[in-house]
Amino acid sequence: MGSNEVVVVTGASSGIGSATAAALGQAGYRVALGARRVERLEEVAQTVESAGGSAFAHALDVTESSSQDSFLAAVRAHWGPIDALINNAGQNLSSLVAEATDEQFRSDLETNLLGAMTLTRRVLPEMLERRRGDILFVGSDSATRPRTWQSAYSAAKAGLEIFAKVLEMETEGTGVRSMVVRVGPTGTEFGNQMPKARMPEILESWKYWGVLRHLHWMPAERVARTIVDTLSVPLESAYPTLVEIQPGGRKREFES
């Protein structure tokens, strides 16, 4: 990948997505931003442009086929073919399995897994035809270290890595790449969906199961840098198919 290429970032209205959009803009990519909160997207686009980058914002709900179609049509009409897709949109409707609803399960799977799969399917034929393109999945360490209260989210992120691997196999040698950036705890709005009253219970459970070692979250900008670095590796004989980023530990927070 190189400068001026068109990169779609889903879930670009906040957190890792907006930080990635800013980092891509600074690196000279043209960034197409998609999410449901359009006013927030416009603000992110303005930030990218005031830093000298190029941004295009358009509404996108990754759980809706018609929204995916109109989003991609708008990006192509504005800029032409898409060079890279960053599947970043995500959510986490935390609940114990025994307390969850069908709708919570469905929504987590549709947003985190099916949304990325269907959007990928939509951009892939053009990439294969052009013999170039990158699909980057923003994964989670929940895929390999699943968490209580996050059953559907963890299952979706594990499924996402399997999907990315199969895509990597199916596209080998075509000029199209499939890559996962597996992310550890990051300070974003992601935790806002968690039931605040149950947080002590949730954190205790995560400590018990060894999936929460400390309370240190990475800045979204640091994760964004890793995403852009991964995407920017030139297509040669080798490239990173899976990168994991974790915060440096500050165990003392638990020991005090």
Catalytic residue annotation: 153
Q: 47 or 174: whose CB is closer to ligand NAP?
A: 47
Q: In the complex, what is the shortest distance from the CB of residue 228 to ligand NAP, in angstroms, rounded to a whole number?
A: 15
Q: 1 or 112: whose CB is closer to ligand NAP?
A: 112
How many residues would you count in the chain? 256
Q: In the complex, what is the shortest distance from the CB of residue 97 to ligand NAP, in angstroms, rounded to a whole number?
A: 19
Q: 122 or 130: whose CB is closer to ligand NAP?
A: 122
Which residue in 73, 161, 165 sits closest to 119, CA to CA? 73
Q: Where are the beta strands (DSSP E) in 106-255?
A: 133-140, 176-183, 186-187, 218-219, 242-245
Q: Which residues contact 248 (CB under 8 A, 6 or more apart)?
A: 216
Q: In the complex, what is the shortest distance from the CB of residue 12 to ligand NAP, in angstroms, rounded to a whole number?
A: 6
Q: 6 or 112: whose CB is closer to ligand NAP?
A: 112
Binding site residues, ligand NAP, CB under 6 A: 10-17, 35-37, 40, 60-63, 88-91, 111, 138, 140, 183, 185-186, 188-190, 220
Q: 61 or 134: whose CB is closer to ligand NAP?
A: 61
Strands across the sheet with 30-35, in order? Answer: 54-59, 30-35, 6-10, 84-87, 133-140, 176-183, 242-245
Q: In the complex, what is the shortest distance from the CB of residue 173 to ligand NAP, in angstroms, rounded to a whole number?
A: 28
At residue 81, φ and ψ (nearest 5 deg) are -60, 150
Look at the alpha carbons of 30, 32, 37, 38 in this order and tell me if their dihedral is positive or negative: positive
CA dist 108 and 246 (Å) reads 23
Other CB atoms within 10 A of residue 21 CB: 30
Other CB atoms within 10 A of residue 190 CB: 19
Cβ-proximal residue to ligand NAP, closest one? 15
Q: In the complex, what is the shortest distance from the CB of residue 88 to ligand NAP, in angstroms, rounded to a whole number?
A: 5
